[in-house]
Amino acid sequence: MEIGIFVAGRLGSKRLPKKLILPFGESNLWDIACKKLNHLPDEYEKVVLINEPELINIAEKYENIRIILRSKTSSIGNAEDASVYEDVDKMKSDYIMWINPCLSMVQTATIEGALDYYKQSDKRYLESVKSFKSWLFNSEGKLITDTDFNKLNTKSVNGIYEAAHAFRIFPKKEFLKTWKMLDTDLLIYPISSLESMDVDTELDYTIALECYKKYTGKT
């Protein structure tokens, strides 16, 4: 099974402009993501999808990474539409892992573990998830999670997960036909709450930066 790994970047974030190159520890989120990708085993095709000079200059420092220049449409398209990753058609691999560069605390060992887990399965998709231990209600106020009313604590909630959006794996051919990065034929791969810390807003950035400093010692 040939698996390629890609990280896509652009500087057009509206909630936190240029968040990928804002100061973060000793570098920035984009550099941290590139370094992580570079250190993954060379058995995997390793690619970044970018076109802004600031991102290209950083990625060029890493010799094990191939740079694919994003098309104009993918660079300015809606980030919620998976077709912004159309440039994966230039990757050689049949199966693709996407890694989110905005989650600085995801460890390379976690990524490798997910890849190994996927390769040992016959499922076509994999999604990173984080444990969710609380009560969930529908719009009518009905509980949709198992709850022990005699204890009323969240410790009794088991087996509930939410998407972490840290990484996912999908078959390239199907993706290019449907633009779906996930389908029902999937595995879930739990990661820690610390690893799932995402940066979308200025508040996210402040919190994630402090956690990064604390747990890595990089100021």
Q: Averaged over 62-77, what is the pLDDT?
A: 86
Q: Answer whether residue 77 shows pLDDT above 70.
A: no
Give the per-residue pLDDT at 155: 73
Which residue has better confidence, 158 or 86?
Answer: 86
At 131 the three-state DSSP class reads: strand
Q: Averaged over 128-153, what is the pLDDT?
A: 86
The token pair that represents 53 in the structure block: 């000079």
Is 80 exposed, middle or buried, given 0-12, 13-18 or 19+ CB atoms closer than 10 A?
A: exposed
User: Taking phi first (over 0 means left), then psi (-120 to 50 degrees means alpha), and beta for anything else, what does residue 151 get?
Assistant: alpha
Q: Answer whether residue 204 shows pLDDT above 80.
A: yes
Single out the residue of 196, 19, 181, 5 nearest to residue 84, CA to CA: 181
Give the per-residue pLDDT at 123: 97
DSSP 97-119: EEE-TT-TT--HHHHHHHHHHHH
Q: How far apart are CA 39 and CA 41, in angstroms?
A: 6
Give the per-residue pLDDT at 219: 59
Q: Answer whether residue 76 shows pLDDT above 80.
A: no
Q: Answer whether residue 97 shows pLDDT above 80.
A: yes
Q: Averaged over 1-29, what is the pLDDT?
A: 94
Q: How far apart are CA 131 and CA 204, in angstroms?
A: 19
Q: Give the whole-number percent of the chain exceeding pLDDT 90.
A: 79
Beta bridge partners of 50: 69
Which residue has better confidence, 144 or 39?
Answer: 39
Residue 216 has φ and ψ, to the nearest 5°, of -110, -20
Give me the chain's average pLDDT, please.
93
Which residue has better confidence, 154 or 182?
Answer: 182
175 confidence band (pLDDT: 50, 70, 90): very high
Beta bridge partners of 24: 27
Residue 118 has φ and ψ, to the nearest 5°, of -65, -45
Q: How far apart are CA 168 and CA 174, in angstroms?
A: 14
Give the per-residue pLDDT at 78: 67
* pTM of the predicted model as reported, rounded to 2 decimal places: 0.93
How many alpha carbons lie under 13 Å from residue 166 in its C-beta half-sphere? 24
Q: Averaged over 190-209, what is the pLDDT?
A: 96
Q: Residue 139 in contact with residue 23, Cβ under 8 Å? A: no
196 confidence band (pLDDT: 50, 70, 90): very high
The token pair that represents 149 in the structure block: 């009313």
Give the per-residue pLDDT at 72: 77
Residue with tokens 């919620």: 80
pLDDT tens-digit map of 105-127 = 999 999 999 999 999 999 999 99
Tell me which amino acid residue 161 is: Y
149 confidence band (pLDDT: 50, 70, 90): confident
